Amino acid sequence: MGFISTANAGIDTLINPSKEATVFEPRLSDYTQSTLQEVKKLAWFEKISLGGYVQLRYNRLFETNPNLTCEQCDKSIGGGNGFFIRRNRLRVAGMVHPRMFMYVQVDFASSPSTSSTHYAQVRDAYFDLGLVEDNSLRLRFGQSKTPYGFINMQSSQNRLNLDRDDALNSGSANERDLGVFLYWAPVKRRKLLAELVKSGLKGSGDYGCFGYGVYNGQNANKPELNNYLHQVVRFSWPFHVGNQILETGAQAYQGKYTLPSVSSGVKAVSDLTYDDRRAAATFVVYPKPFGIQAEYNIGRGPEFNNITDSIELTPIKGGYVLLNYQARYKGHIIHPFFRYTYYDGGKKHERDARSYEVQETEFGVEWIPFKNFELVVAYNIADRRYEDFQKQDNRQIGRFMRLQAQLNF
């Protein structure tokens, strides 16, 4: 049973609405009882499938300030940069047993330093164990996305805006961590969550209607640095209102985070370990044809104070709102979008828990002429203050146009 991706399968359906898509990524949520019976009949090598995507970007068109950068976002933003492979992902996935799903994803475009690019790094490596026959209740073991923030869980392959927002993503820079997670959702809701991705409506994927997990808390591919585990809990419910589909959600996490990088001369607690806790609300109207996606989170975490040259536990706040539209024309899919982001707080994973105040607007359009190719053109207007011990009184304002070509396979 081969697949291309959940997004691509949905494009098939949108282009040929009378014909059900014939390719899909076999996530656990895609398997109904009838499909489970089919899985039992397959040999092990028939249950494993490959897929992935590649993104090529250029961010320097009409650039007004080459000093405007974003470490958390796309590292090719700013002066001295050119074409950039943002992602080069290969996935191996499949139902190796009617109640066991495995998923491994490697990115071949990771950058361990500013002078080295295109290294392979594990992004996901987990397996789901169904605790009941229909897999509505399951345990996930391994490295995977933590269920906090719709936009964090939404795949970059499906997302409209080119980078995740600072506000939600500052809680987990690469959205993933190593731990154990429990997910539950009725079969009917799991089918809807899967369809929201497969149909091209920009869903976040199946992370259940209820999720709870314990994980290290230092972010993916990072060693644990303290004796405290993070905990996360999330509630979400997608539902129909007439022809429209809405989703509401709430989530929170707590734990202790140990700073990985502190400049000499900065005052900090002796073990560099700070409370790290947040709560967020989510509201989504899927684009049929108009859509809205909005999230806001509050919490407390470490942040650099340039007046005292110290790292302090401070409040964080911020969120985003995304407006979008889905149109079809002669087999093409077109998604115009607009997003506004605001964030005020620290970024624990950056040097000295760098202090941020961000206001950013991005608008653009995604064009999909056929299921294997996507092109995004976006314009970014940003006002960013980001300061640490080595870079103080640093506020950068600028605008630039962005291009991204994406191959799906």
Please give the pLDDT value at position 64: 98
Is 70 exceeded by the pLDDT of residue 25? no
User: Among 144, 147, 107, which Cα is nearest to 125's?
Assistant: 144
Contact present, 380 and 30 (Cβ < 8 Å): no
- Domain segments of the chain: what residues? 6-408
Q: Compute the C-alpha angle 373/378/383, nearest 5°.
A: 145
Please give the pLDDT value at position 358: 98
Is 50 exceeded by the pLDDT of residue 24? no
Please give the pLDDT value at position 130: 98
Q: Tell me the average pLDDT across 19-43.
A: 48
**Which neighbouring-strand residues pair with 296?**
281, 319
- As a whole-number percent, the residues of the chain with pLDDT over 90 amount to 84
Please give the pLDDT value at position 195: 94
Please give the pLDDT value at position 40: 62
Q: What would the two tokens of residue 309 be?
A: 């040259």
Range among 72-76, 125-129, 261-265 with highest mean pLDDT value = 125-129
Is 50 exceeded by the pLDDT of residue 12? no
Q: Tell me the average pLDDT across 315-320.
A: 98
Is 70 exceeded by the pLDDT of residue 31? no
Instruction: Kindly report the average pLDDT of the chain as a whole number.
Output: 90
- As a whole-number percent, the residues of the chain with pLDDT over 70 amount to 89
Is 60 exceeded by the pLDDT of residue 10? no
Please give the pLDDT value at position 113: 65
Strand 332-346 relative to strand 327-329: parallel, antiparallel, unpaired? antiparallel
Give one word for 215, left, alpha or beta, with left for phi > 0 and alpha for psi -120 to 50: beta
- The DSSP 8-state label assigned to residue 28 in this structure reads G
Model confidence at 53, pLDDT cuts 50, 70, 90, reads very high
Contact present, 40 and 25 (Cβ < 8 Å): no
Contact present, 399 and 372 (Cβ < 8 Å): no
Higher pLDDT, 30 or 264: 264
Please give the pLDDT value at position 37: 59
Please give the pLDDT value at position 39: 57
Model confidence at 183, pLDDT cuts 50, 70, 90, reads very high
Model confidence at 114, pLDDT cuts 50, 70, 90, reads low
Is 60 exceeded by the pLDDT of residue 29? no
The contacts of residue 268 (CB under 8 Å, 6+ apart) are 259, 262, 310, 311
pLDDT tens for residues 306-317?
Answer: 999 999 999 999
The contacts of residue 232 (CB under 8 Å, 6+ apart) are 146, 147, 148, 211, 212, 213, 215, 251, 252, 253
pLDDT tens for residues 201-248?
Answer: 999 999 999 999 999 999 999 999 999 999 999 999 999 999 999 999
Helix H or strand E encompassing 150: helix 150-153
Q: Tell me the average pLDDT across 350-371.
A: 97
- The fold for domain 6-408 equals Porin (2.40.160)
Is 80 exceeded by the pLDDT of residue 8? no
pTM: 0.88
Helix ranges, 173-282 (H): 187-198
Q: Tell me the average pLDDT across 78-102.
A: 95
Q: How far is CA 333 from CA 123, 134, 158, 369, in A?
A: 29, 34, 13, 6
Model confidence at 173, pLDDT cuts 50, 70, 90, reads confident
Please give the pLDDT value at position 36: 56
Q: Tell me the average pLDDT across 19-45.
A: 50
Please give the pLDDT value at position 389: 97
Q: Tell me the average pLDDT across 347-359.
A: 97
